[in-house]
């Protein structure tokens, strides 16, 4: 059963400067709703009951967004506005499910995952990267179904332009299961065009097993001096852990870059 999800939120968001100089990118509105709420809705709709936010001291504004009770209570007392009451109820629903852990140094996604070790209860858990929005189809839900069928780790995948492979983790595929799913034989973090074994990229949805923590503890820094989850996943695959890739069918929106963020608002408005 996948009941817990983790969301790394300690990144600095430099690709979205100046918007992120005083604000968390995950709270930026996309068609009137903070990006993080789309991610939370995906988790909850997929049956997740506890969501662990990995934040940093610099990103405490995210915690404040969910813990601003006194403010809401005083406004509601004065105004009794049904819209505000409704919005506050929504925030309270999210808050009940969220736990916070801290990653104060931005050492990479692998390091962020390691911070959740103590809190993970079941063997498998879900991770969502908040820069990647997937609309129209619940990718996490589909991945959980696959996980149940194959008793394996699962990662989301999308084909990208060949000259763009150095922006992503890139898969080697050992066997196609069907049109949408495949067995992963290797994964490389941000390879150059010559190194890249394919143009199938890792998108930010992962079902991982607790076994990854042992490997993460020993994980050396990789590309850009960061501890990458991709590098530990690579070790797990080499150690014969089964990883299934899932080509999701929803609409992908990249909210982590300025260009992508602007497009996301326009695209979601059209849905
Ligand atoms: C991270 C992962 C990368 C993956 C990407 C998906 O990169 O390290 O393997 O392809 O997310 O969005 P980042 O976006 O943090 O640079």
Q: What is the 3-state secondary structure (H, E, C) of the chain?
A: CCCEEEEECCCCCHHHCCCCCCCCHHHCEECCEEHHHHHHHHHHHCCCCEEEEEECHHHCHHHHHHCCHHHHHHHHHHHCCHHHHHHHHHHHHHHHHEEEEECCCCCCHHHHHHCCHHHCCCCEEEEECCCEEEECCCHHHHHHHHHHHHCCEEEEEEECCHHHHHHCEEEEEEEECCCCEEEEEEEEECCCCCCCCCCEEEEEEEEEECCHHHHHHHCCCCHHHCCCHHHHHHHHHHCCCCEEEEECCCEEEECCCHHHHHHHHHHHHHC
- Given pLDDT bands bounded at 50, 70 and 90, which one contains residue 25? very high
User: What pTM was computed for the model?
Assistant: 0.96
pLDDT digits (tens, 9 = 90+) for 95-127: 999 999 999 999 999 999 999 999 999 999 999
- Given pLDDT bands bounded at 50, 70 and 90, which one contains residue 172? very high
Mutate to test the pocket of ligand 1, among 131, 159, 168 (most ligand atoms within 8 A of CB): 168
Give the distance (Å) from ligand 1 centre to CA of residue 23. Answer: 21
Contacts of 248 (CB under 8 A, 6+ apart): 134, 137, 139, 142, 156, 157, 158, 180, 203, 205
CB 234 near ligand 1, within 6 Å: no
Q: Which atom of ligand 1 is nearest to the CA of 11?
A: 15
CB 169 near ligand 1, within 6 Å: yes
CB 228 near ligand 1, within 6 Å: yes
- Given pLDDT bands bounded at 50, 70 and 90, which one contains residue 271? confident
Give the distance (Å) from ligand 1 centre to CA of residue 168. Answer: 5
CATH topology of domain 4-270: Spore Coat Polysaccharide Biosynthesis Protein SpsA; Chain A (3.90.550)
CB 131 near ligand 1, within 6 Å: yes
């Amino acid at each position: 059963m996948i009941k817990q999800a983790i969301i790394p939120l300690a990144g600095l968001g430099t690709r979205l400067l100046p918007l992120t100089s005083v604000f968390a990118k995950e709270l930026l509105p996309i068609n009137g709703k903070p990006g993080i709420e789309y991610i939370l809705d995906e988790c909850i709709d997929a049956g997740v009951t506890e969501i662990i936010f990995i934040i940093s001291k610099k990103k405490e504004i995210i915690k404040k967004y969910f813990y601003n009770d006194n403010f809401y209570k005083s406004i509601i007392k004065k105004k009794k506005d049904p819209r505000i009451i409704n919005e506050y109820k929504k925030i309270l629903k999210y808050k009940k499910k969220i736990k916070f852990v801290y990653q104060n140094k931005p050492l990479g996604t692998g390091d962020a995952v390691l911070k959740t070790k103590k809190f993970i209860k079941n063997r498998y858990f879900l991770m969502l990267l908040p820069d990647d929005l997937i609309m129209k189809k619940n990718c996490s839900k589909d991945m959980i179904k696959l996980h149940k069928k194959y008793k394996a780790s699962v990662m989301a995948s999308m084909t990208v332009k060949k000259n763009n492979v150095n922006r992503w983790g890139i898969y080697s595929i050992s066997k196609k299961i069907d049109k949408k799913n495949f067995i992963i034989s290797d994964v490389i973090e941000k390879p150059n065009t010559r190194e890249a074994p394919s143009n199938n990229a890792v998108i930010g949805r992962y079902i991982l097993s607790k076994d990854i923590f042992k490997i993460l503890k020993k994980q050396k820094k990789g590309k850009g001096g960061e501890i990458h989850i991709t590098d530990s996943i690579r070790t797990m695959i080499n150690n014969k852990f089964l990883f299934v890739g899932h080509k999701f069918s929803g609409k992908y929106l990249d909210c982590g870059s300025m260009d992508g963020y602007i497009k996301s608002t326009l695209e979601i408005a059209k849905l």
